[in-house]
Structure 1
Amino acid sequence: MIDLEVRGAINVVEACAQAESIEKIVFNSSLTSAIWGENICSEKDVDERSWSDHEFCRKTKLWYALAKTLSEQAAWALAMDRMLNMVSINAGLVLGPGIAQKNPQVTMSYLKGAAQMYENGVLAIVDANFLADVHIRAFEDPSTCGRYFCFNQIVNTEEEAVKLAESLSPLISLPPRYECQGSEVYDERLKNKKLNKVVDSTAN
């Protein structure tokens, strides 16, 4: 999976480099390319400058996160080498009517380590329609550059986690008549101020 992901990213960027009509590349990536490392339990904010640690992903067998990290880094390296105008959209877990159920492998791969993401304030979800709109805005806005974290919500309470699990049924199942037991709220560590500026500016 990792080699295919990296090769696919390189092929797409190279094809864009050879096409004279390409004005900008909007590369679809994942938040998992930014959140994983030995310091995931720290209290530091996670923003667009963050990258997942390759060795940590290998050690913990987070193959989806490793594939997304390596493919995005390969895309950026080639885009800079070819002097291409590129932005990346690093999306949370994509949700929408039937999306998770139609793409179970991607959904469950993203959610590997979900408990750790949840407890450390980096488990985020994004609506598919909003994600598509962000891609359009990122392409049309000439000021966009670099990476953008894209999510609607950070799941950081048990109630929100239960709602997420229910929306992913039957991929994830809860015990019958499950009731929330705790009231703990985990600190939100993901920051997407950069994306908010784009959304606000293009909405006016």
Structure 2
Amino acid sequence: MCPGSVDAAPAAGKSVCVMDAAGPLGHALVDRLLRRGYTVHAATYGLGGDDGGAEAAALRKQYLPRGAGDAYGHRLKVFRADPFDYHAIADAVRGCAGVFCMFNTPDDQAQCDELTVEEEEVRAAHNVLEACAQTDAMERVVFTSSVTAVVWTGDADKEDGHLAVDERCWSDLAFCRKFKLWHALAKTLSEKTAWALAMDRGVDMVAINAGLLTAPGLTAAHPYLKGAPDMYAAGVLTTVDVDFLADAHVAAYECPTAYGRYLCFNNAVCRPEDAVKLAQMLSPAAPRSPPSDELKVIPQRIQNKKLNKLMLEFASGVYGKLD
């Protein structure tokens, strides 16, 4: 049984904010948090009106758990957020004990350029962390980053490229710019910005560095996948489903032992059949073909042992004693 499926009630009347709540992860988190007893501020960048508008009312229906009726309605509040509007973000997080901060990057590589990433994600990270620092009730921020902020170290083509990759690694900014890896650049810069603000303002923050989210609508044009053959060859191409990712976020917020960064994935694409399965998922209409003879089994270089330990602690309720 996944921890997020349990209707536990550790919330004790606490309010938390999910921002941006519009994507698959946002929806999954709102569902879990409502079921666990929290009052949820669902903040959406694309929302045009305020909490009382018709658009907000429609979103409320989307966010409420299926079959719940009005049982959770009184604990769900919808807010407008804007990465460039500090005051809108501050309104959304006001009174909250926790914030789940994520940025839904464009689904197409053509829409993801250097200007976009530096102007939007970095500014949003700065505004969210600053707003959290000014919120007296704030206990912890869970910041959603990406595996792409970890794996592009520039070592993939070196003879010592077999060295393990874990949450201590950071993608090299110059390398990302050289090869126009804008998604990796965005996630690295925004996460570094968030960490700098968190440490300077004394905000308790935990980062979840997620693999490629395999949600409906995913295509080969997703900017995460730029350089995918190189990630595969280096043994660091990973995916994660939305349920596992949402559970990891809840664990990172509720576990008192959670700290630092956590690599989050539940599938490492290291075998030819794994690569073919991912390709079929990205392009379901394409003709199916057997694995290419050019593909070979790649040793997995990326590890998420730290997250696995956290999830065990979360499931058992025993913290700091599991080795």
TM-score (norm 1): 0.91
Question: 1:123 — aligned with what?
Answer: 237
Q: Deviations over 1:50-83 (max 9, x none)?
A: 0000000000000110010000000000000001
1:110 aligned to which of 209, 215, 224:
224
Structure 2 residue ranges without an equivalent (≥5)? 1-115, 317-323
Question: 1:20 — aligned with what?
Answer: 136
The equivalences for 1:4-43 within 5 A come to: 4-41=120-157, 42-43=161-162
Q: Deviations over 1:151-199 (max 9, x none)?
A: 00110111101101111225xx64x341223372101011111101001
User: Secondary structure of the equivalent of 1:100?
Assistant: coil
Structure 1 residue ranges without an equivalent (≥5)? none
Q: CA deviation at 1:99?
A: 4.4
Distance in 1 between the 2:141 and 2:172 partners?
A: 25
Contact 2:280 2:288 in 1 (8 A): no
Q: Deviations over 1:16-48 (max 9, x none)?
A: 111111110000000000100220231111111
Structure 1 segments of 4+ aligned residues over 6 angstroms from their partners: none
Give, as a single letter, the amino acid of the residue that structure 2 aligns with 1:186.
Answer: I
Structure with more contact order per residue of length (Cα contacts < 8 Å, sep ≥ 6): 1
Question: 1:165 — aligned with what?
Answer: 279
Distance in 1 between the 2:190 and 2:168 partners?
A: 16
The equivalences for 1:1-204 within 5 A come to: 1-3=116-118, 4-41=120-157, 42-96=161-215, 98-100=216-218, 108-169=222-283, 174=286, 176-182=287-293, 184-204=296-316
Distance in 2 between the 1:17 and 1:120 partners?
A: 38
| Higher radius of gyration, 1 or 2 | 2
User: Secondary structure of the equivalent of 2:142?
Assistant: strand
TM-score (norm 2): 0.59
Alignment CA distance shift 1:168-1:177 (3 Å): closer
User: Secondary structure of the equivalent of 2:308?
Assistant: helix
Contact 2:262 2:307 in 1 (8 A): yes
User: Secondary structure of the equivalent of 1:148?
Assistant: strand
Distance in 2 between the 1:40 and 1:83 partners?
A: 36
Q: Deviations over 1:82-103 (max 9, x none)?
A: 011000000000013x1425xx
Q: CA RMSD in A?
A: 1.5
